[in-house]
Chain A
């Protein structure tokens, strides 16, 4: 039956034309190809020049297999015991919630002041540059810097995590604010409403859904960072226990147990985030 198709459409009679091009070389096309090509070249260069410290890759992978087996198939609470680990886990969760709250409050204030459609250009630009610099410094380095001044512990961890959170959320929120339709803002401005009234009556309700999304994304990042800071800066919490178990006592059964705890918490956080996001989007 496919043979009959030539009867359906008569082949158009065209003078033989030169090759028909399918696309022109546009800038974006060239750019994509160039970026991919250079990334691949850099990767190949790096991988062929990688320093493996003379480790036998085969034996190392076999050993990794043993370790993973101990971790994931035979987890146990080790010498620290479940109560201690749960307590450490709770303090890491609280740390991440606390720093996310700080980040959300200050992040929103700075975002309002930094958004191009709300404030004067100089203030906005200044805030954006400062935030970009704060963001460029990894959380762990912030925590280490603060731990010199305040000593190792919760305060340094909180300040370190908060700094990065504020900078991250400022950028995220201000992008949402800048996406607001100009007319929403104007319609309140023409009523003679004051700046912060416009912010809380027009801008806040418009971005609340994306505000909630970003805040929960940051909460998940902060939880991961709380663990990292605990491990690398000795700031306590489940991260420190993880570091001790995996790097000092080499108890991979306990490491596995801790990893399962952490994964469980992130699943719960993700679940709550999905529920709350859906609630705000449906309104």
Chain B
């Protein structure tokens, strides 16, 4: 279980970016974080794996606080937390399978990682994950030759090979066309169920959140204003969340 308790963060003095954020997520749940731009969605997501150091609070993964971890411990936590990025963040010049295998680096000794030595087992797993995301024929392609949707699926495979408990998705579909976006969301949803993952995604598209998420967290100006099952999200709440009537967008 992932528990966030009283998370605080400010980038400038007296200008809090996050105020007192608390929520829980059970395994096998797809959570969408929604809210206007600049509300603090990315800050929450990135403090979950401490890419951003928050100021105060607790982040418990199965009861262990990852905020107090030292460098070595933090690396151990991070390898259980996969991350998927808006711009995919792949090494474009390397092949698809090499990028997938990067997810194993956290488990390797520094030297083996530096020289990119992977075991046969790891390679086979990478291939089977590529099959799972529908890219088994692309393993030896350079990532720069792929389309956006394909790159994002490589990113997902890279996070899966970490054997994660949690997958964080930072605007996973913001750079994709509608068809690929749906594709990626469906993939994330089914993987969440299959592997009993905790999947936390920042989303701009409310209709996507409603369709795919089990749980929705609404953030406004650094405050948590909504944390319920997805079907509890009403137009009233959306109006307070976005300060305006955006129900039209939903239709």
Task: Enumerate chain A interface residues (CB-CB to B < 8 A).
Answer: 1-2, 5-6, 8-9, 11-12, 14, 17, 19-24, 26
Q: Does B112 contact A (CB under 8 A)?
A: no
What's the Cα separation between A1 and B123 when bound, in Å?
24
What's the Cα separation between A19 and B196 when bound, in Å?
31
What's the Cα separation between A96 and B41 when bound, in Å?
51
Asked if A19 and B120 sit within 8 Å, CB to CB, the answer is: yes
Q: How many residues of B contact A (CB 8 A)?
A: 30
User: What are 28 of the A-B contact pairs (CB < 8 Å)?
Assistant: A1-B80, A2-B79, A5-B163, A5-B165, A8-B164, A8-B165, A8-B197, A9-B160, A9-B163, A9-B195, A11-B121, A12-B124, A12-B125, A17-B124, A17-B127, A19-B120, A19-B123, A20-B97, A20-B124, A22-B95, A22-B97, A22-B101, A22-B116, A22-B118, A23-B94, A23-B95, A23-B97, A23-B98
Asked if B128 and A2 sit within 8 Å, CB to CB, the answer is: no
What's the Cα separation between A6 and B80 when bound, in Å?
11
Contact with A along B179-196 (1 / 0, CB 8 A): 000000000000000011
Asked if A2 and B76 sit within 8 Å, CB to CB, the answer is: yes
Asked if B195 and A8 sit within 8 Å, CB to CB, the answer is: yes
Query: Which residue of B has the minimal Cβ distance to A10?
Result: B195
- By CB atoms of chain A within 10 A, which of B101, B116, B126, B142 has the most? B142
* With A19-B120, A21-B140 as contacts: A11 and B125 at CB distance below 8 Å: yes
Query: Which residue of B has the minimal Cβ distance to A6?
Result: B163
Q: Does B64 contact A (CB under 8 A)?
A: yes
What's the Cα separation between A17 and B123 when bound, in Å?
10
In order of increasing CB-CB distance, the 8 nearest A-B pairs are A20-B123, A12-B128, A5-B163, A23-B95, A9-B163, A14-B124, A24-B140, A22-B98
Asked if A5 and B95 sit within 8 Å, CB to CB, the answer is: no
Further 4 A-B residue pairs, CB within 8 A, beyond A14-B128, A22-B123? A1-B76, A2-B80, A5-B80, A22-B118
Q: Does B62 contact A (CB under 8 A)?
A: yes
Query: Which residue of A has the minimal Cβ distance to B140?
Result: A24
Chain B residues closer than 8 Å to A8, beta-carbon distance: 163-165, 195-197
Chain B residues closer than 8 Å to A20, beta-carbon distance: 97, 120, 123-124, 126-127, 139
Chain B residues closer than 8 Å to A26, beta-carbon distance: 142
Chain A residues closer than 8 Å to B160, beta-carbon distance: 9
Chain A residues closer than 8 Å to B95, beta-carbon distance: 22-24
What's the Cα separation between A17 and B163 when bound, in Å?
22
Query: Which residue of A has the minimal Cβ distance to B129?
Result: A12
Which residues from 54 to 103 on chain B have a C-beta closer than 8 Å to any C-beta of chain A?
Answer: 62, 64, 76, 79-80, 94-95, 97-98, 101
- By CB atoms of chain B within 10 A, which of A11, A12, A22, A23 has the most? A22
Chain A residues closer than 8 Å to B116, beta-carbon distance: 22
Chain B residues closer than 8 Å to A21, beta-carbon distance: 140
Query: Which residue of B has the minimal Cβ distance to A19?
Result: B120
Query: Which residue of B has the minimal Cβ distance to A26?
Result: B142
Query: Which residue of B has the minimal Cβ distance to A11?
Result: B125
Chain A residues closer than 8 Å to B123, beta-carbon distance: 19-20, 22
**Cβ of B59 to closest chain A Cβ, rounded Å:** 15
Chain A residues closer than 8 Å to B128, beta-carbon distance: 12, 14
What's the Cα separation between A23 and B197 when bound, in Å?
31
Chain A residues closer than 8 Å to B97, beta-carbon distance: 20, 22-23
Query: Which residue of B has the minimal Cβ distance to A32?
Result: B93
**Cβ of A29 to closest chain B Cβ, rounded Å:** 9
Chain A residues closer than 8 Å to B118, beta-carbon distance: 22
Chain A residues closer than 8 Å to B62, beta-carbon distance: 1
- By CB atoms of chain B within 10 A, which of A9, A11, A26 has the most? A9
